[in-house]
């Protein structure tokens, strides 16, 4: 008679049970009352499917072979298993696979064979190994070799085609009985399933396949070819990509702060707004979708509460922007690593043919975190600076290691993850960067790892005659801020090109810089002489800048040049500004000052704003903000693995529950201790000395019978005191109320 799983679990050590719960954490939640409950849970279909998700191709092949043998009904002998897998699968690999299955309580010893949990039959395909179902009659008799030897060439072609799998073919009932299929049906080498379908019996398929009944089994993983890119090169390239990411994020936050895009009615970002974001960040739409997903995950953008709802930068984005580049990158990279969504789905179409939007609910995939880490951990196994020669080879490796993971998007998830990690500066040149390795193992130190990879910031630029400046590396923060004020970034990369324009010079002057300040900056921070054309541009803009000055009246204009003010008032495009002259050199408007200045600039004038002291006032608008919501808790991809102490406690509780069940099923006299109270005391003192759990039956002060399992800490003075293994509480039980006791048997090494 087959050994039940619960009996096998009872014979296992506590260490085995702890390891089982670690491998299958769903079995521990809630904590099983006893090992019978554990065994029942271990055989539930959903739990078995989940346990098989982590198995590699070879282990699944062994499981499939056990199903073919019928180990889910009767134990399978090791010799039969070895024969079925064929000569190419070493015995050591079969033993490893059995060990993996046994550790997960999917397989256990039963007599001289291996028993398989019945629900495992549903893990494999309808036709395990591509074989049909066993049949009665001639196909299952000793006459099978003779029948196969007598088939014609045409009949053999039919049999070989079905033996290769699947074992199902189409043939109408009533077809010519003298056809190959008709003759095979008549001899029992094929079985009719319905009027349209025939099936090749399992015994026939196995006989036709010869010494490799399950075909070619992939014993070892297909290791990808690699190429050494150099650790320093990979880290530097990834660091450059990280800086590019920060620049693009800053551009998007500025864009959405000024003009927040509305959400779609069903949620998500519209295609037109995604394209606008992609253009602003100089990315393709798939990379832009990744960035907006990461910003939302990092709580740097959120949906406003107004109508219509819009995607607006949060107040947390201002805190983020004030940090150093390494801190800002680490926050984004960690948000991506923990993102329970698949940005790669953005732009793809659902079953109805509708495009899935970025930030839409359809992109949510709780298992994305697990699958993303899997890809990066695969790269982390290679030496630093080593890349896979082809992403497809990494896809093949991960598919062998866990073919059941990822569903229909399994392979796409790998390529998406590599592309996303490259955009974020986690991966470069198809190799995991040093900062990427730290992000995986110790996220708190990722910022420091990027800092080490970044080149030292430089303190100068190279001014060119074409009104550009070249920054040959990362600039010092103060220089970068000043240069961004006085010039526009034209291109970025290993070297950044800035362009000086009339608008950029005016921007610096509007922010309170003087012409002398700008000239001093250029002279002090350029390794090349200031080109004459650039000096002329600064002087020309400064000469015209501020000749008109506005104030609040709601707004006022003043100018020492009465003719200029008259020209402003007479200009046809300034009529909407509602200007009214108060004095030869002063005019006022009821409109806000910013609108007045914008209107004057649109009419071709170059006014400047001033404060109450006459100093230049910067009216540059700060983008809109909404309150930060706080990063949402990550959706778990499955039951969390309890810590070791908790697992040990769960096992102790199950052992105690088993002891209770065992004592309940036995007679009370069997648990009574000879010698009355003195015998009870001796047993309890021994249990306290060796820290052994004890089942105690007792009667309380009201005459109500009860039972507990405790680990005695002391026994004497008429009382036993110990820790309850179920809830950890300290229990005190008078000796004279104890009716029976039984030692709880510890797990034995199995």
What integer pLDDT is reported at residue 452 of this predicted model?
92
Q: Does domain 644-743 have CATH number 3.40.50.1220?
A: no
Contacts of 650 (CB under 8 A, 6+ apart): 21, 28, 31, 32, 642
3-class DSSP state of 33: coil
pLDDT exceeds 60 at position 24: yes
Average pLDDT of the chain, as a whole number:
87
Confidence of residue 740 (pLDDT cuts 50, 70, 90): confident
Confidence of residue 666 (pLDDT cuts 50, 70, 90): very low
Mean pLDDT of 180-207: 83
- For residues 385 and 233, give the distance between their C-alpha atoms in angstroms, rounded to a whole number: 8
The domain spans of the chain are 137-209, 226-453, 462-544, 548-609, 644-743
Confidence of residue 140 (pLDDT cuts 50, 70, 90): low
Per-residue pLDDT reduced to its tens digit, 409-450: 888 999 999 999 999 999 999 999 999 999 999 999 999 999
Per-residue pLDDT reduced to its tens digit, 676-693: 677 788 888 888 888 888
Minimum mean pLDDT range among 109-123, 333-347, 594-608, 699-713? 699-713
What integer pLDDT is reported at residue 60 of this predicted model?
94
What integer pLDDT is reported at residue 489 of this predicted model?
87
Confidence of residue 646 (pLDDT cuts 50, 70, 90): confident
Cα–Cα distance list, 731 to 100, 207, 726 (Å): 40, 66, 11
pLDDT exceeds 60 at position 749: no
Report the sign of the C-alpha dihedral through residues 18, 21, 22, 28, in that order.
negative
3-class DSSP state of 555: strand
Q: Is 670 exposed, middle or buried (0-12, 13-18, 19+ CB in 10 A)?
A: exposed
Q: In what order do the strands lie in the sheet with 468-471?
A: 462-463, 468-471, 496-499, 488-491
Which position has the higher pLDDT, 54 or 619?
54
- For residues 733 and 716, give the distance between their C-alpha atoms in angstroms, rounded to a whole number: 11
Q: At what angle do helices 202-209 and 153-163 cross, to 10 degrees?
A: 100
- For residues 486 and 498, give the distance between their C-alpha atoms in angstroms, rounded to a whole number: 9
Q: Is 596 exposed, middle or buried (0-12, 13-18, 19+ CB in 10 A)?
A: buried
Minimum mean pLDDT range among 13-17, 228-232, 286-290, 713-717? 713-717
Q: Give the other-Cβ count within 10 Å of 577's Cβ.
A: 24
- For residues 365 and 637, give the distance between their C-alpha atoms in angstroms, rounded to a whole number: 9
Minimum mean pLDDT range among 178-182, 575-579, 633-637? 633-637
Q: Which of 321-325, 328-332, 458-462 has the highest mean pLDDT?
A: 328-332
Of 334, 340, 342, 355, the residue nearest 275 (C-alpha): 355
Per-residue pLDDT reduced to its tens digit, 66-99: 999 988 888 999 999 999 998 889 999 999 999 9
Tokens of 210: 């010869």
458 — phi, psi (to 5°)? -100, 160
Sequence-ordered strand ranges (E) for 659-748: 694-699, 705-716, 719-724, 730-734, 738-743
What integer pLDDT is reported at residue 634 of this predicted model?
55
Per-residue pLDDT reduced to its tens digit, 628-642: 766 655 555 556 667
Rounded to an integer, what is the distance from CA 285 to the centroid of its chain? 21
Secondary structure of 208-272 as H, E, C letters: HHCCCCCCCCCCCCCCCCEEECCHHHHHHHHHHHHHHHHHHHHHHHHHHHHCCCEECCCCCECHH
Per-residue pLDDT reduced to its tens digit, 353-373: 899 999 999 999 989 999 999
- For residues 581 and 587, give the distance between their C-alpha atoms in angstroms, rounded to a whole number: 4
pLDDT exceeds 50 at position 160: yes
Mean pLDDT of 222-244: 94
Q: Give the other-Cβ count within 10 Å of 720's Cβ.
A: 28
Instruction: Print burial letters for 339-370: b (CB count within 10 Å at least 16), e (below 16).
Output: bbbbbbbbeeeeeeeeebbbbbebbebebbbb
Confidence of residue 669 (pLDDT cuts 50, 70, 90): very low
498 — phi, psi (to 5°)? -105, 145
Mean pLDDT of 383-412: 90
Q: Which of 269-283, 500-514, 649-663, 706-720 has the highest mean pLDDT?
A: 269-283
- For residues 94 and 65, give the distance between their C-alpha atoms in angstroms, rounded to a whole number: 11
Confidence of residue 57 (pLDDT cuts 50, 70, 90): very high
Is there a contact between 516 and 522 (Cβ–Cβ < 8 Å)? no
Radius of gyration of the chain (CA): 38
Mean pLDDT of 475-499: 87
pLDDT exceeds 60 at position 280: yes
pLDDT exceeds 80 at position 614: no
Is there a contact between 429 and 234 (Cβ–Cβ < 8 Å)? yes
Cα–Cα distance list, 163 to 178, 205, 369, 422, 512 (Å): 21, 5, 40, 46, 84
What integer pLDDT is reported at residue 748 of this predicted model?
42
Q: How far separated are the first and last CA of the chain, in Å rounded?
A: 19
What integer pLDDT is reported at residue 421 of this predicted model?
97
Contacts of 743 (CB under 8 A, 6+ apart): 683, 687, 692, 693, 694, 695
- For residues 423 and 642, give the distance between their C-alpha atoms in angstroms, rounded to a whole number: 35
Confidence of residue 621 (pLDDT cuts 50, 70, 90): low
What integer pLDDT is reported at residue 668 of this predicted model?
38
Minimum mean pLDDT range among 20-29, 172-181, 386-395? 172-181
Mean pLDDT of 45-74: 92
Rounded to an integer, what is the distance from CA 748 to the centroid of its chain? 39
Is there a contact between 389 and 365 (Cβ–Cβ < 8 Å)? no
Mean pLDDT of 108-129: 89
């Amino acid at each position: 008679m087959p050994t039940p799983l619960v009996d096998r679990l009872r014979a296992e050590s506590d260490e085995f049970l702890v390891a089982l719960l670690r491998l299958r954490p769903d079995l521990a939640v809630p904590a099983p009352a006893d090992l019978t409950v554990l065994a029942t849970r271990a055989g539930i279909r959903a739990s078995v499917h989940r346990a098989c998700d982590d198995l590699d191709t070879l282990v699944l092949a062994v499981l499939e072979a056990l199903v073919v043998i019928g180990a889910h009904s009767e134990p399978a002998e090791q010799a039969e298993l070895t024969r079925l897998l064929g000569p190419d699968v070493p015995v050591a690999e079969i033993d490893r696979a059995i060990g993996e299955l046994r550790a997960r309580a999917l397989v256990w010893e039963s007599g001289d064979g291996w028993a398989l949990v019945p629900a495992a039959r549903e893990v494999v395909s309808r036709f395990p190994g591509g074989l049909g179902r066993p049949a009665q009659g001639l196909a299952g008799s000793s006459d099978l070799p003779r029948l196969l030897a007598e088939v014609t060439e045409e009949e053999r072609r039919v049999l070989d085609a079905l033996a290769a799998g699947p074992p199902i073919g189409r043939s109408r009932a009533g077809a010519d009985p003298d056809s190959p299929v008709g003759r095979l049906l008549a001899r029992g080498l094929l079985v009719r399933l319905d009027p349209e379908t025939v099936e090749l019996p399992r015994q026939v398929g196995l006989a036709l396949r010869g010494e490799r009944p399950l075909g070619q089994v992939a014993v070892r993983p297909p290791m990808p070819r690699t190429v050494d890119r150099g650790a320093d090169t990979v880290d530097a390239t990834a660091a450059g990509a990280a800086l590019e990411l920060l620049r693009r994020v800053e551009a998007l936050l500025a864009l959405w702060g000024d003009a927040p895009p509305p959400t779609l009615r069903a949620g998500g970002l519209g295609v037109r707004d995604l394209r606008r974001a992609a253009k602003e960040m100089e990315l393709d739409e798939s990379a832009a979708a990744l960035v907006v997903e990461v910003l939302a995950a990092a709580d740097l953008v959120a949906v406003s509460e107004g109508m219509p709802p819009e995607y607006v930068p949060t107040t947390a984005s201002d805190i983020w922007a004030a940090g150093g580049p390494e801190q800002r990158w680490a926050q984004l990279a960690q948000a991506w690593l923990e993102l329970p969504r698949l940005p790669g789905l953005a732009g793809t179409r659902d079953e109805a043919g509708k495009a899935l939007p970025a930030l839409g609910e359809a992109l949510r995939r709780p298992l994305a975190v697990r699958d993303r880490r899997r890809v990066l951990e695969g790269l982390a196994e290679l030496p630093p600076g080593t890349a896979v020669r082809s992403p497809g080879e990494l896809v093949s490796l991960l598919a062998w290691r866990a073919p059941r993971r990822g569903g229909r998007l399994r392979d796409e998830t790998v390529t998406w993850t590599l592309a996303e990690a490259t955009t974020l500066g986690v991966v470069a040149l198809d190799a995991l960067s040093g900062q990427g390795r730290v992000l995986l193992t110790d996220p708190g130190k990722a910022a420091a790892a990027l800092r080490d990879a970044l080149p030292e910031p430089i303190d100068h630029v190279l001014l060119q005659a074409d009104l550009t400046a070249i920054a040959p590396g990362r600039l010092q923060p103060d220089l970068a801020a000043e240069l961004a004020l006085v010039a526009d970034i034209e291109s970025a990369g290993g070297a950044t090109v800035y362009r000086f324009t009339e608008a950029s010079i005016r921007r610096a002057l509007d922010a309170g810089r003087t012409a002398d300040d700008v000239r001093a900056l250029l002279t002090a921070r350029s390794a090349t002489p200031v080109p004459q054309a650039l000096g002329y541009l600064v002087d020309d803009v400064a000469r015209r800048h501020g000749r008109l000055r506005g104030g609040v009246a709601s707004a006022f204009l003043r100018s020492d040049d009465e003719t200029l003010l008259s020209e402003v008032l007479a200009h046809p495009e300034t009529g909407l500004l509602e200007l009214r002259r108060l004095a030869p050199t002063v005019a006022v408007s009821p409109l806000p000052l910013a609108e007045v200045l914008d209107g004057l600039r649109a009419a071709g004038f170059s006014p400047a704003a001033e404060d109450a002291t006459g100093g230049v006032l910067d009216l540059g608008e700060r983008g809109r903000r909404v309150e930060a919501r706080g990063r949402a808790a990550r959706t778990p991809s499955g039951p969390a693995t309890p810590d070791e102490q908790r697992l040990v406690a769960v096992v102790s509780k199950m052992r105690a529950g088993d002891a209770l069940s065992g004592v309940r099923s036995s007679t009370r006299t069997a648990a009574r201790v000879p010698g009355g109270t003195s015998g009870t005391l001796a047993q309890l003192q021994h249990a306290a000395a060796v820290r052994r759990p004890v089942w105690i039956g007792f009667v309380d002060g009201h005459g109500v019978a009860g039972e507990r399992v405790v680990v005695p800490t002391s026994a004497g003075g008429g009382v036993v005191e110990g820790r309850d293994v179920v809830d950890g509480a300290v229990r005190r039980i008078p000796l004279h109320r104890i009716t029976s006791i039984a030692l709880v048997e510890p797990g034995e090494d199995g």
